[in-house]
Amino acid sequence: MLKIGEFSQAAKVSIKTLRYYDQMGLLKPAWKDRFSGYRFYHLTQVEDLNQILALKEMGFSLDQIQTILQDEITLPQLKAMLRLKKTELQQEIKTSTSQLALIEDRLNQLDAGADLAQITLIQEPTILDQINKPKELEQMKVEIKTLPAFTTAGMKYVGKNENNQIAAMWQEIGPRWGEINNPAKPYERAFGICGEMEEDGSFTYLAGIQVDKVEDLPADLNSWEVPENTYAVFPCTLRDIHKTYQYAHSTWMPENGYKRADGPDFEYYGEHFDPADPESILYVYIPVKK
């Protein structure tokens, strides 16, 4: 008649484990009080628990132990299980041994002066189909440019661009450039700036123009200071803008040895841009580093 804590001490098994075995049906307490829920064990159950632990030491899973102990398994079945387990253990030992050999090999290589890249290299390079680059993007002339920091102001959006809200925003902000500045032409110095995607898929986007100062900005507009950065610049048509981003990240950058650098990417439109013409040219700027 031991409470779970006493039994736990006596058998040197954690209380959590005993409750788990109870729940699994592997070792039920001799008596469970219907009203307090307290578990009571008897000393003789230490033997049962030791049986379980003995089988666990041999590497059996709790389910297997339950089968062995409860279903009063036959002797040939037990032998078969032991032999199966034996095979599994031999396999495990083989795996661990080969891992160990790998490690020792790498350690020796390190002592001989190799570096991480060589260490983790796998010998068999997989030969794969060539990349199918979109034809219309093949001849794209990409430039690398470093821009100083600059400030933009306009309308900000945070979300996943459901229902194409960003296009709607450009419609809305179009007639209001005068509230920020007085540009000579509608799309002169106009930028669409896009921050990094969050875990939930949302991102920040600002439709705006370059400004010198952010004073007297209407309350529903925002500004964004873009830091100095080195960019890869991709000229493209309005129609291909989506493909251009994809091409830039998934083809051009890996093949030319560039990596994405910190900082937002953006599109620059220019005074000749016409949102109604899908052939209209704009420029995609993506921060990169070698």
- Contact set with DNA (CB under 7 A): 3-6, 8, 14-17, 19-20, 33, 35-39, 56, 61-63, 200-201
Q: CB nearer to DNA: give 38 or 256.
A: 38
Least distance to its own copies, CB of residue 182, Å: 33
15 binds, among DNA, its own copies, none (CB under 5 to 8 A by kind): DNA
Q: CB nearer to its own copies: give 77 or 176.
A: 77
Q: CB nearer to its own copies: give 69 or 217.
A: 69
**3-class DSSP string for the chain:** CEEHHHHHHHHCCCHHHHHHHHHHCCCCCCEECCCCCCEEECCCHHHHHHHHHHHHHCCCCHHHHHHHHHCCCCHHHHHHHHHHHHHHHHHHHHHHHHHHHHHHHHHHHHHCCCCHHHHCCCCCCCCCCCCCCCHHHHCCCCEEEEECCEEEEEEEEEECCHHHHHHHHHHHHHHHHHHHCCCCCCCCCEEEEECCCCCCCCEEEEEEEEECCCCCCCCCCEEEEECCEEEEEEEEECCCHHHHHHHHHHHHHHHHCCEECCCCEEEECCCCCCCCCCCCEEEEEEEEEC
Least distance to DNA, CB of residue 17, Å: 4
Least distance to its own copies, CB of residue 139, Å: 17
Residue 208 burial class via C-beta count within 10 angstroms: exposed 0-12, middle 13-18, buried 19 and up: buried
251 binds, among DNA, its own copies, none (CB under 5 to 8 A by kind): its own copies
Least distance to its own copies, CB of residue 238, Å: 16
- Displacement of CA 171 from its chain's centroid (Å): 35
4 binds, among its own copies, DNA, none (CB under 5 to 8 A by kind): DNA
62 binds, among its own copies, DNA, none (CB under 5 to 8 A by kind): DNA
Q: CB nearer to DNA: give 17 or 181.
A: 17
What is the CB neighbour count within 10 angstroms for residue 200?
Answer: 8
174 binds, among its own copies, DNA, none (CB under 5 to 8 A by kind): none
51 binds, among its own copies, DNA, none (CB under 5 to 8 A by kind): its own copies
Q: CB nearer to DNA: give 27 or 232.
A: 27
Least distance to DNA, CB of residue 36, Å: 4
241 binds, among its own copies, DNA, none (CB under 5 to 8 A by kind): none
Q: CB nearer to its own copies: give 86 or 272.
A: 86
Q: CB nearer to its own copies: give 4 or 217.
A: 4
